[in-house]
Structures are given as C-alpha cells and as structure tokens.
C-alpha cells in the first residue's frame, strides 16, 4: 500500500505552551490508523494541524506526496549558530501551508470533536454544507441518496432541524456530512464521545464499512482505546504532545503499558 499521509517531525504551540512535540506518523492508503491518549495530550491539535486549522512551528505534512503544510527552520533552536542572531525570529525559514478549503478539495475531510453540527439547519441542509466545494448538482444528489441509504435514520429525519436529533444521530450526520465530499482520507475526532455503548458499536461498525467497502482511509482519534484498537490496523499512543508508542493495533492491545494506562487492566 502506498503512503497517503506523511506527518514528519511537526510541532505546534499555543503561545508558550507546546501542544505537539516532534510528532511523526505515516498512514498508508486503505488503512485505519488510530491515535489514543488522555485528555489534553494533543490529539485534536494534530487533526487540526492536518487540515490547516493550526499552524506548524516546525516540520511538514504531506498528502499523496504533496506538501500541504510546512515550517522548516533553517536554524533549529538546538543549533549554536542561533546565538549569533539578536532575534531568532530572523533565522531563515521556509513556511508554507495550504488553506483549509484547499486541503479539503484534495480529498481530506474532518469530523470534529463534538460533531459541530449546524443545529438550526435541517439534516439535508447540513449534508449540503458538506458538499460546499462541489459544483455538480447530480453528484450532490447522488451522494445524499447514498448517505440516506447508509444511515437510514437520516433519511427518515432529512427535513428535521438537527437540534432535534439524538447525540448518536448527530454523530451519524456529522460523518455523513464529511462523506458528502467523497474524501479519500477521513479524519475522525472522538466519534464515540458521550454516546451509549450500543451506539458507539454501531458507529464503529459504520467506520469499518466506510473503510473496506468505500476504500476510504481513516485516521481516528478516540479515548475509547479498546474500541479504537480493535477497529484499526495500526495505533499510536500520545502523551504530552509526543508519540511515545507505535505498533500494530493487535500488538498494542497486548502491550502491558497500554493495558494498564488505557484499557483498565
């Protein structure tokens, strides 16, 4: 399988707080890859960086071999040459990043944490928002039909305001909205957050179908570590903005440190 997403040595900061520290992850086409970790570890920040919502302090992100975000400091903070600069900000650097809409148009879709639905719009109008970059009415109609077939409850509620949906129904709609653009890479931020176990099971079954039948590569952030690792091919563990462990999901499920910290064993 070819490499679809390459995250190489990226760092992201919020003022003086470093949210991501030298993170590298590589996702191959056709995989489901998960990222697990505690609240505040930096998982959501990583997804936002991929879609251009958080600027990089250093490192690069490439999609299908094209750099979509980069901040290459010619002189890193560890380099003694920096002491010759009165102001380190003047050190040469190469910064470039596509806009979020440009990244989306290349085939990446994000389902954000907390769903972020348009509560006063109907289900159908929310799906239309997912296709805002597409100028093809026939394609949009076809995708909506597919989404209503894939998530039958959405078809039943297509004219209802989104605020009237349950949490699980809103999560299904958020995923359907992301799929309206026919992405090749689907980023999911805590799809099981706040949902009942049976609903979580249903959502994750849908994710596997999207991956296997629609050939959509999935990068999944999830606090339910057991569910995430059982669903994915490879996994990464993040602590304090760093990747501290990477392996196949099968191996991580058997890892004693993962069991103790994230699986309650």
Q: At 177, give phi and psi (nearest 5°).
A: -60, -45
User: pLDDT tens digit string along 66-110?
Assistant: 999 999 754 344 444 334 343 444 444 455 789 999 999 999 999
The pLDDT score that the predictor gives to residue 223 is 86
The pLDDT score that the predictor gives to residue 117 is 83
User: pLDDT tens digit string along 98-142?
Assistant: 999 999 999 999 999 876 888 889 999 999 999 988 889 999 999
pTM of the full predicted structure?
0.88
Q: Find the helix or strand (DSSP H, E) in which 218 lies.
A: strand 217-221
3-state secondary structure of 170: helix
The pLDDT score that the predictor gives to residue 77 is 42
The pLDDT score that the predictor gives to residue 103 is 95
Question: Are the C-beta atoms of residues 239 and 207 closer than 8 Å to each other?
Answer: no
Examine the pLDDT at 261 and tell me if it is beyond 60.
Answer: yes
DSSP 44-110: HHHHHHHTTSS--SEEEEEETTEEEEEEEESS-TT-GGGGG-SSGGGS-EEEEE--HHHHHHTTEEE
Domains defined for the chain, CATH in brackets: 31-55+100-262 (3.40.50.300)
Examine the pLDDT at 254 and tell me if it is beyond 60.
Answer: yes
User: pLDDT tens digit string along 139-174?
Assistant: 999 999 999 999 999 999 999 998 898 888 999 999
User: pLDDT tens digit string along 20-63?
Assistant: 999 999 999 999 999 999 888 999 999 999 999 999 999 999 99
Give CA separation, 174 vs 90, 96, 99, 257, in Å: 43, 30, 22, 33
Q: What pairing do the DSSP bridges indicate for beta strands 32-37 and 17-28?
A: unpaired
């Amino acid at each position: 399988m070819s490499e679809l997403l390459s995250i190489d040595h990226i760092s992201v900061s919020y003022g003086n707080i470093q949210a991501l520290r030298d993170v590298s992850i590589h996702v191959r086409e056709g995989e489901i890859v998960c990222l697990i970790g505690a609240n505040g570890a930096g998982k959501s920040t990583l997804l936002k960086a991929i879609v251009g919502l958080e600027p990089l302090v250093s490192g690069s992100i490439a999609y299908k071999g094209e750099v979509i975000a980069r901040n290459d400091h010619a002189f890193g903070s560890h380099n003694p040459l920096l002491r010759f600069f009165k102001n380190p900000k003047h050190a040469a650097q190469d910064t470039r990043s596509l806009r979020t809409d440009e990244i989306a148009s290349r085939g990446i879709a994000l389902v954000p944490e907390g769903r972020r639905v348009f509560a006063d719009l109907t289900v159908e109008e929310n799906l239309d928002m997912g296709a805002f970059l597409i100028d093809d009415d026939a394609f949009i109609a076809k995708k909506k039909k597919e989404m209503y077939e894939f998530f039958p409850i959405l078809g039943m509620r297509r004219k209802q305001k989104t605020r009237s949906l349950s949490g699980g129904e809103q999560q299904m709609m958020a995923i359907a909205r992301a799929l309206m653009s026919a992405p090749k890479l689907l980023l999911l931020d805590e799809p099981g957050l706040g949902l009942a176990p049976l609903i979580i099971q249903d959502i994750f079954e849908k994710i596997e179908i999207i991956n296997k039948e629609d050939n959509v590569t999935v990068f999944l952030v999830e606090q339910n570590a057991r569910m995430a690792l059982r669903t994915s091919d490879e996994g990464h563990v993040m602590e304090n903005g760093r990747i501290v462990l990477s392996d196949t999901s099968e191996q991580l499920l058997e890892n004693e440190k993962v069991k103790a910290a994230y699986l309650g064993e």
